[in-house]
């Protein structure tokens, strides 16, 4: 929890990429405010500090009833803070999902015009918001609208530094095409984002809701038409549909050119007439293209009709040559395959009918060849009037189609017979494979049983050997105990005898304890080391005071490594160190799940103040101490 002068922190009410937002109350004025703090992990990063200061300056320049007002800005060593007016209400996206659903137009239009009014005011100050979305709009209980989060706003003339061209800034689903392409943005980019926000208000859903792949969303924004609101919610009026479509055009010049023009579109019916004209023009162009296509097809057909009779004669000759060639090739192949003589002709493996699967029964094999020639002759005879005598050559393609159908019928018949043969072969192969698999499985089971039996035998032998070793060890230990007892008894007897025989006068010897190189654990030392601030605490409570001060030091200096946050690394680092005889911290060692976490733990321990050393029997000694530091992501 943050600490800020003159303010009492009540609770945390939100968080974002750069920091957290807290509800607080002024200790004297007793008015409630919202305090936005830069995340502790970013405080030492000068680029984030500059951006946070820039947001403060931007917010301070704005004074509008629909913009959240900045009250004060404070910068401390441990943080930067924006102090803003506290607004009771909900974010627009929560309001839509939890309360209203698709907002009726009689409530939507006044609400959206307030948003436009706030953006129009920002534009008049030369500011481009660049991150307009429902999450940055607050709805108060009485229906008023407040625009917030100018953290990435940019001056219209600004083109370098924190907001340079070539860097994407904003939330993906609400980005304009130029933002996706990392091009320079202006107020027309805000117009596009306002159109996306209006879409969500009237449909109850974001345009790309459910998609998690940001690249696909960006590709849709740049390449695909913006989704139609009526497709997701049929209750959207034609006028609102037309307004959304104009605001979300890919080209900047086709959008509303200002918020003022955007506002006027809600009371002006011209945008709907313009939309209807565009649709009518599109239909006219499509009809014109269809007519041009039909004219071209008619021209092509007339060219075929006007072809010379010479083409007819050439086609007839080609058909006769092809049929004759097929007959002789089939005949020679058949003779070579079945009788060993004739022209060697290798039929292609990719042919429709695999001739290699045919039998050598001449009564069956030649039937399909005869059927082809009979079909061809019948077609030529029945079409002789139109084919040979007519000057209109347009019917010739139909004759060719009939010949192809006849050939296909014969080939299909042979294909069925071949399929039966292939199916029988597959069944036979499958049966052989199953038998082989069964034999292999039986062999595997037998081998597994043999391996298990061998393992059981080895395990039994090992257990027996272990039991024997244990019995031998027990017997040896018993013998050793008896021998030791005997030696002790003998030694006692010898000592008694020596004391009786000799009397020695021993002078007093002064014994001095030496603690120069002794480490006394924190848990058993007589006088524990004193953390600054625990000097006046009762001796019985000094250990607890030391622990409290140590925990408070860790909390105050704790900073989660940014790289560990991004990688999702968390865990506990165990830190060991020695409080030397002069009170300094030495021999720091640590063990944790990640080097970044260990480095942060080392930094925290290095900031420990010098202690009052621990004492044993009144003399300073070295005191080892260990403590775990836990890193946990919320």
DSSP letter string, 69-116? PEEEEEEETTEEEEEEE---SEEHHHIIIIIISSPPHHHHHHHHHHHH
**pLDDT tens figures, 338-364:** 544 444 444 443 333 344 444 455 455
40: confidence class by pLDDT, cuts 50, 70, 90: confident
**Pair type for strands 137-139 and 90-91:** antiparallel
- Count the domains in the chain: 4
167, pLDDT greater than 70: no
> Average model confidence (pLDDT) for the chain?
79
Per-residue pLDDT band for 391 (boundaries 50, 70, 90) equals very low
d(CA 396, CA 310): 13
- Exposure pattern of 135-153 as b/e (b: 16+ CB <10 Å)? bbbbbeeeeebbbbbbbbb
CA 344 distance to own-chain centroid: 63
- Band of residue 41 on the pLDDT scale cut at 50, 70, 90: confident
Bridge-based pairing of strands 7-15 and 90-91 is unpaired
- Tokens 């506290």 correspond to 86
Euclidean distance between CA atoms 303 and 206, whole angstroms: 56
Q: Is residue 139 located within the same domain as residue 182?
A: yes
512 confidence band (pLDDT: 50, 70, 90) = very low
Q: Which residue has the higher pLDDT, 20 or 410?
A: 20
How many other CB atoms are found less than 10 A from the CB of residue 593?
Answer: 14
Dist. CA 15–CA 22, nearest whole Å:
9
- For residues 61 and 117, state if they share a domain: no
Measured at the CA of 518, the angle between CA 517 and CA 521, to 5 degrees, comes to 145
Q: Which two tokens stand for residue 90?
A: 């909900």
195 and 221 co-located in one domain = yes
φ/ψ of 326, rounded to 5, equals -60, -40
Residue 22 has pLDDT above 60, yes or no: yes
Answer yes or no: is 63 within a domain. Answer: yes
For residue 422, how far is the Cα from the chain centroid?
49
Question: Same structural domain for residues 183 and 317?
Answer: no
Give the C-alpha distances (Å, rounded to integers) separating 138 from 19, 102, 109, 118, 424. 19, 17, 16, 12, 75
Question: What HEC string does 412-467 produce?
Answer: HHHHHHHHHHHHHHHHHHHHHHHHHHHHHHHHHHHHHHHHHHHHHHHHHHHHHHHH
Given this model, what pLDDT does residue 294 score?
64
Nearest to 6 by CA among 23, 25, 20, 22: 25
**Predicted confidence (pLDDT) at residue 389 exceeds the cutoff of 50:** no
Helix/strand/coil for 365: helix
Distance separating alpha carbons of residues 286 and 276, to the nearest angstrom: 16
Instruction: Give the span between the Cα atoms of 611 and 580, in whole angstroms.
Output: 9
Residue 130, judged by CB atoms within 10 A of its CB (0-12, 13-18, 19+), counts as: buried
Residue 341: partners with Cβ closer than 8 Å, 6 or more residues away: 335
User: 405, 438, 473 — which closes off a domain?
Assistant: 405
Find the CATH number of the domain harbouring 572: 3.30.2420.10
- Would you give the distance in Å from CA 123 to the centre of its chain? 35
Give the pLDDT mean for 280-291: 65
The lowest-confidence range among 54-63, 167-176, 381-390 is: 381-390
In 3D, which of 172, 150, 151, 175 has the Cα closest to residue 39?
151
Shared domain for 44 and 105, answered yes or no, is no
The per-residue pLDDT for range 412-456, each reduced to its tens digit, is 666 676 667 777 888 888 888 888 888 899 999 999 999 999 999
78 and 218 inside one domain: no
What's the confidence (pLDDT) of residue 287? 67
- Within this chain, do residues 52 and 148 fall inside the same structural domain, yes or no? no
Asked if 445 and 414 count as a contact pair (C-beta separation under 8 A), the reply is: no
- Looking at per-residue pLDDT, the higher value among 127 and 505 belongs to 127
- Does 100 score more than 80 pLDDT? yes
Instruction: Judge whether 514 lies within some domain.
Output: no
Alpha-carbon distance of 520 to 540, in angstroms, equals 18
CATH number at residue 234: 1.10.510.10
Question: Same structural domain for residues 258 and 395?
Answer: no
Those residues with Cβ within 8 angstroms of residue 336's Cβ, 6 or more apart along the chain or in another chain: 342, 343, 344, 345
* 3-class state of residue 234 by DSSP: coil
Q: For 361-378, write each residue's pLDDT tens digit.
A: 545 555 555 655 665 666
262 vs 312: which has the higher pLDDT:
262
d(CA 71, CA 84): 5
> How many whole angstroms separate alpha carbon 83 and alpha carbon 73?
6
Per-residue model confidence (pLDDT) at position 156? 46
Phi then psi dihedrals of residue 88, to 5 deg: -75, 125
Average pLDDT, stretch 546-559?
94
State how far the alpha carbon of 4 is from the alpha carbons of 11, 80, 193, 263, 439, in Å. Answer: 13, 10, 36, 42, 81
Backbone angles phi and psi of 76, in degrees to 5: -120, 175
Q: Is pLDDT above 60 for 131?
A: yes
pLDDT value, residue 250: 94
Is 397 within a domain?
A: yes
Contact 38, 30 (CB under 8 A): no
* Whole-number pLDDT of residue 354: 40
Query: Are residues 105 and 232 both part of a single domain?
Result: yes
Residue 52 sits in a domain whose CATH number is 3.30.200.20
Is residue 501 one of the residues assigned to a domain? no
Residue 342: both structure tokens together: 């004739």
Count of residues in the chain: 634
Residues 6+ apart with CB under 8 A from 273: none
The pLDDT of residue 395 is above 70:
no
Which residues form the catalytic set? 131
The DSSP annotation for 586-616 comes to EEEEEE-S-HHHHHHHHHHHHTPPPPBPPEE
Cα separation, 407 vs 376, whole angstroms: 9
Residue pair 140/88 in contact (Cβ under 8 Å)? The answer is yes
- The more confidently predicted of residues 57 and 397 is 57
Res 418: pLDDT: 65
Report CA 557 to chain centroid distance, whole Å.
Answer: 32
Quick one: 122 and 239 in the same domain?
yes
pLDDT at 174 over 60: yes
Would you place residue 404 in the very low, low, confident or very high pLDDT band (cuts 50, 70, 90)? Answer: low
For 509, the token pair is: 């010897």
- 140: tokens are 């108060």
Question: Sign of dihedral through CA atoms 606, 611, 615, 621?
Answer: positive
Last residue of a domain, one of 85, 110, 143: 85
**In terms of Cα–Cα distance, which of 70, 10, 48 is closest to 162?**
48
Same domain, 95 and 208: yes
pLDDT of residue 285: 67
Least confident of 269-283, 424-438, 440-454, 504-518: 504-518
Query: Three-class SS of residue 128?
Result: strand
List the one residue out of 258, 236, 233 whose CA is nearest residue 246.
Answer: 258
Q: Which of 208-217, 380-389, 453-462 has the lowest mean pLDDT?
A: 380-389
Domain extent, residue 562, equals 539-631
Q: Is residue 304 part of a domain?
A: no
Which has the minimum average pLDDT: 249-263, 318-332, 536-550, 597-611? 318-332
Q: Is the pLDDT of residue 464 over 70?
A: yes
Residue 386 burial by CB count (10 A; 0-12/13-18/19+): exposed, middle or buried?
Answer: middle
27 in Cβ contact with 7 (< 8 Å): yes
Read off the pLDDT of each residue in 133-147 and give the average, rounded to a whole number: 92
- CB neighbours of residue 324 within 10 Å: 10
Mean pLDDT to the nearest integer, 41-48: 86
Nearest 5°: phi and psi at 338? -95, -30
Do 549 and 617 have their domain in common? yes
State yes or no: pLDDT of 214 exceeds 50: yes
pLDDT band at 406 (very low <50, low <70, confident <90, very high): low
pLDDT of residue 400: 60
pLDDT at 506 over 50: no
Asked whether residue 248 is domain-assigned, the answer is: yes
Q: How confident is the model at residue 608 (pLDDT cuts 50, 70, 90)?
A: very high
Task: Examine the fold and report which residue of 85, 113, 129 is the final residue of a domain before the chain moves on.
Answer: 85
CA dihedral angle for residue 545, residue 548, residue 549, residue 554, rounded to 10 degrees: 160
Domain membership of residue 485 (yes or no) is: no
Strands 127-128, 79-85: parallel, antiparallel or unpaired by DSSP?
A: unpaired
Say if 298 falls within a structural domain. Answer: no
The pLDDT-based confidence of 55 (bands split at 50, 70, 90) is: confident
| 62 vs 152 pLDDT, higher one | 62
- The whole-angstrom separation of Cα 117 and Cα 105 is 18
Q: Decide: residue 108, CB within 10 A, 0-12 exposed, 13-18 middle, 19+ buried.
A: middle
When comparing pLDDT for 385 and 612, which is higher? Answer: 612
Beta strands 137-139; 145-147: pairing state: antiparallel
Its pTM stands at 0.45
């Amino acid at each position: 929890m943050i600490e800020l002068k003159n303010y009492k922190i009540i609770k945390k009410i939100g968080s974002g990429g750069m920091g957290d937002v807290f509800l607080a109350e002024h200790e004297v004025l007793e008015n409630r405010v919202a305090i936005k703090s830069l995340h502790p992990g970013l405080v030492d990063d000068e680029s984030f500090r500059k951006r946070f200061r820039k947001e403060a300056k931007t917010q301070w320049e704005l004074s509008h009833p629909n913009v959240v007002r900045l009250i004060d800005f404070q910068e401390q060593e441990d943080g930067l803070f924006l102090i803003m007016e506290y607004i009771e209400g909900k974010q627009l996206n929560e309001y839509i999902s939890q309360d209203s659903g698709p907002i009726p137009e009689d409530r939507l239009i006044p609400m959206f015009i307030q948003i436009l009014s706030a953006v129009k005011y920002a534009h008049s100050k030369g500011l481009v918001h660049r991150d307009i979305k429902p999450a940055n709009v607050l709805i108060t209980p009485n229906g008023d609208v407040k625009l917030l989060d100018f953290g990435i706003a940019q001056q219209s003339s600004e083109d370098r530094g924190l907001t340079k061209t070539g860097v994407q800034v904003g939330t993906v689903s609400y980005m304009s095409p130029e933002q996706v392409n990392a091009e320079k943005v202006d107020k027309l980019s805000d117009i596009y984002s306002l159109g996306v926000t209006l879409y969500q208000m009237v449909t109850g859903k974001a345009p790309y809701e459910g998609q998690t792949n940001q690249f696909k969303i960006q590709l849709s924004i740049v390449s695909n038409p913006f989704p139609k609101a009526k497709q997701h919610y049929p209750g959207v009026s034609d006028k609102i549909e037309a307004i959304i479509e104009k605001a979300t055009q890919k080209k900047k010049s086709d959008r509303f050119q200002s918020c003022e023009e955007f506002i006027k579109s809600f009371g002006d019916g011209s945008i709907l007439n313009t939309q209807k004209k565009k649709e009518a023009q599109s239909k006219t162009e499509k009809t014109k293209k269809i007519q041009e296509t039909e004219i071209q097809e008619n021209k092509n057909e007339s060219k075929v009709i006007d072809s010379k009779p010479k083409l007819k004669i050439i086609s007839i000759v080609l058909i006769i040559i092809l049929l004759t060639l097929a007959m002789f090739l089939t005949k020679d192949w058949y003779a070579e395959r079945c009788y060993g003589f004739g022209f060697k002709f290798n039929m292609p493996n990719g042919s429709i009918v695999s001739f290699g699967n045919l039998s050598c029964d001449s009564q069956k094999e030649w039937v399909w060849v005869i059927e082809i020639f009979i079909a061809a002759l019948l077609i030529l005879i029945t079409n002789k009037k139109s084919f040979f005598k007519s000057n209109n050559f347009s019917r010739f393609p139909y004759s060719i189609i009939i010949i192809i159908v006849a050939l296909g019928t014969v080939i299909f018949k042979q294909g069925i017979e071949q399929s039966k043969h292939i199916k029988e072969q597959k069944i036979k192969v499958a049966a052989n494979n199953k038998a082989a698999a069964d034999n292999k499985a039986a062999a595997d089971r037998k081998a597994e049983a043999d391996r298990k039996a061998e393992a059981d035998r080895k395990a039994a032998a090992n257990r027996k050997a272990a039991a024997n070793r244990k019995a031998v060890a027990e017997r040896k230990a018993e013998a050793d105990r008896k021998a030791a007892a005997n030696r002790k008894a003998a030694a006692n007897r010898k000592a008694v005898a020596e004391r009786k025989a000799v009397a020695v006068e021993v002078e007093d010897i002064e014994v001095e304890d030496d603690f120069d190189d002794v480490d006394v654990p924190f848990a058993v030392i007589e006088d524990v080391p004193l953390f600054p601030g625990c000097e006046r605490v009762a001796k019985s409570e000094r250990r607890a005071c030391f622990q409290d001060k140590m925990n408070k030091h860790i909390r105050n200096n704790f900073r989660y490594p940014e790289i560990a946050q991004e990688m999702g690394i968390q865990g506990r680092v165990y830190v060991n160190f020695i409080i030397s005889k002069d009170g300094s911290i030495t021999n720091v060692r640590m063990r944790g799940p990640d080097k970044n976490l260990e480095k942060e733990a080392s930094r925290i321990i290095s900031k420990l103040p010098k202690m009052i050393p621990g004492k044993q029997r009144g003399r300073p000694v070295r005191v080892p101490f260990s403590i775990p530091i836990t890193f946990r992501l919320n």
